[in-house]
Amino acid sequence: MTRLVLVGPPGAGKGTQAGTLSEKLGVPHISTGDLFRAHIGDGTELGRSVQGFLDEGKLVPDEVTNEMVRERLADEDTAGGFILDGFPRNIAQAEVLDKILAESGQKLDAVVSFQIDEDVVVARLLGRGRKDDNEEVIRHRQHVYRSETEPLLNYYRDIVLTIDAVGEVNEVTNRVLNALDK
């Protein structure tokens, strides 16, 4: 069970869980948000082209995102598995991911769905202080999540593992590991 996608609203703790799971399972953590922020920090052309979308909490156009993920998944270190965090974020991206994996005879093992109340996550994010963490942008990201990303849970219904994301970080990690073992 090492080809995983994590799905959950912004602020659900996906990134934190992805980091821990990556260590425990020995597979790379691939966060599209982190990849975009690294491009922005490095001042690359891709970074300049996506900055506005991140600042406003909008999805970066699929062509840009899909290409970046396709390149990352071509790296050797993903051969034994990976944890995708923040991708796919809509059905079109999920279809592209299926295709990318099928090209090398792979498929996803599981989609981990983090369940948490919107009010809880908005409060968490307001405390985080990232540049795209003001209330208006946060509310917009939650809206994008519900309308674009949540439908993935139906798309992936045969392989979804639902996890209660409320609790201590290591408690949540253990819930995921237990669910993956079953």
Residues in contact with ligand ADP, shown as a per-residue x/- string from 75 to 104 under the rule CB under 6 A: -----------xx-x---x-----------
User: Does the protein bind ligand ADP through residue 59 (CB under 6 A)?
Assistant: yes
User: Which residue in the set 1, 47, 51, 58 belongs to the binding site for ligand ADP (CB under 6 A)?
Assistant: 58
User: Does the protein bind ligand ADP through residue 3 (CB under 6 A)?
Assistant: no
Q: State yes or no: 149 annotated in a binding site.
A: no
What is the Cα–Cα distance from 167 to 162, expressed in whole angstroms?
15
| Pairing verdict, β 29-31 and 160-164 | unpaired
Tokens for 50?
């996506």
First to last CA, the chain: 10
Residue environment code for 89-105, b if the CB has 16+ CB neighbours within 10 A, otherwise e: bbeebbebbbeeeeeee
Q: State yes or no: 14 annotated in a binding site.
A: yes
What is the Cα–Cα distance from 106 to 98, expressed in whole angstroms?
9
User: Does the protein bind ligand ADP through residue 142 (CB under 6 A)?
Assistant: no
| Number of residues forming the site for ligand ADP (CB under 6 A) | 16
What is the Cα–Cα distance from 150 to 146, expressed in whole angstroms?
5
Q: State yes or no: 144 annotated in a binding site.
A: no
Nearest alpha-carbon partner for 49 in 38, 59, 62, 40: 40
Q: State yes or no: 80 annotated in a binding site.
A: no
Q: State yes or no: 89 annotated in a binding site.
A: yes
Stretch that binds ligand ADP, among 59-67, 72-80, 108-116, 163-171 (CB under 6 A): 59-67
User: Does the protein bind ligand ADP through residue 139 (CB under 6 A)?
Assistant: no
Give the footprint of ligand ADP on this chain (CB under 6 A).
10, 32-33, 36, 53-54, 57-60, 65, 86-87, 89, 93, 141
Residue ranges of the annotated binding site for ATP are 11-16, 128, 167
